[in-house]
Amino acid sequence: MNSIRVLVVDDSAFLRRSLSRILETEPRIKVIGTAANGQEAVEMANSLRPDVITLDVLMPIMDGITALRHIVRDTNARVVMISSVTQEGAGQTIEALSLGAFDFIAKPSGPTSLDIGKVRSELIHKIITAYEGKTRRPVPGDVAAQKLKRIVSETSAVASAFPDRTTISGEWARNKKELIAIAASTGGPAALQVVLAGLPRDLPAGLVMVQHMSDGFTKALAERLDSVSPLEIKVCGTSEMIRPGVGLLAPTGSHLTVKRILGKLHAILSSEPALTLHRPSADILFRSVAEACGPSVCAVILTGMGNDGAEGMKEIRARGGTTIAQDEATSVVFGMPKAAIEKEGIQIVAPLENISEQILASLS
């Protein structure tokens, strides 16, 4: 493998030094420069042409979001955001992922992050993964991102378009599905926005979602999804009845399962099983959905690392449910969809911009 050339950007001199030292413990990574603010980052990104950039969110002179827009537009570098777990930091991180950042790392102890070494393995893994997939840049700039831009170019436009979340799609044919289940990981926040923006307010099915995400960021993601979709999107509570037109997002640290109680579908949170690689787990969700719904579910697996969800999708398909996977060309990381396809759990493979249409077709 060639050396992965990394530019480190943070307004803290301590973090610039610490991140550089951490990264250079990995033989495949070479730190080629550091920048103290977004303006320096943009200039160095254009002159040095790094493979990957670690980019702080909150910085003086030019913030990380503004810098990201320039970097994504003008270079081929993949960007991993370095974010503090604060309300402002979480919201801006979700925006960064929507704009084309590959992934993010949460600072373990807030803005100072004196213990940044705790995330060494995660950071190195994400930089290597970003580098390995950097020839594929599905968002922003592709058809899917342009579709999302047309639908909801700004949050304010969405608010005016759906002031009271009224029906936008007319009358529905008799519904054959009662639930949509979606799972995603790396690249998921942006992909979910494209899919949910294409679903109408009068969706005649409930919606449950799993997105692998660090603790402290799920609420910000739900708020972002809610702002770009005609649907009502929120973080799932401990036990909630599943209702048409409402999307429930699993919180970090809890599995979301679906159960049928007195004929009605309910979303139930659980900490068990505790020894899964991910919590929430796509496989746990999909297996519960297969049992509770049988053929009356449409399940979707989007971009992400690993193979979570593959077994669950296979079970849903075996019970007659509709299964859809995002295609390789529009996936930031094709791991999860590919694993589900290889397990023969997928009926339909579609580009991101067509998935909402596939979901709607399965409902009639």
| Residue from 12, 98, 113, 185 carrying the catalytic annotation | 185
Task: Give the whole-angstrom CA distance, residue 57 versus residue 269.
Answer: 31
Rounded Cα distance, 202 and 219, in Å: 24
> For 198, phi and psi rounded to 5 degrees?
-95, 5
Contacts 24+ apart (CB under 8 A), 12-20: 12/56, 12/112, 12/113, 14/114, 15/56, 15/82, 15/113, 15/116, 18/113, 18/116, 18/117, 19/54, 19/82, 19/116, 19/123
Task: Say whether 10 is catalytic.
Answer: no
Is 255 considered catalytic here? no
Task: List the structure tokens of 58.
Answer: 């909150």
Is there a contact between 360 and 337 (Cβ–Cβ < 8 Å)? no
CA distance 186 to 206: 24
**Which of 11, 98, 212, 214 is labelled catalytic?**
212
Query: Of 51, 308, 327, 362, which is the active-site residue?
Result: 308
Residues with catalytic roles: 185, 212, 308
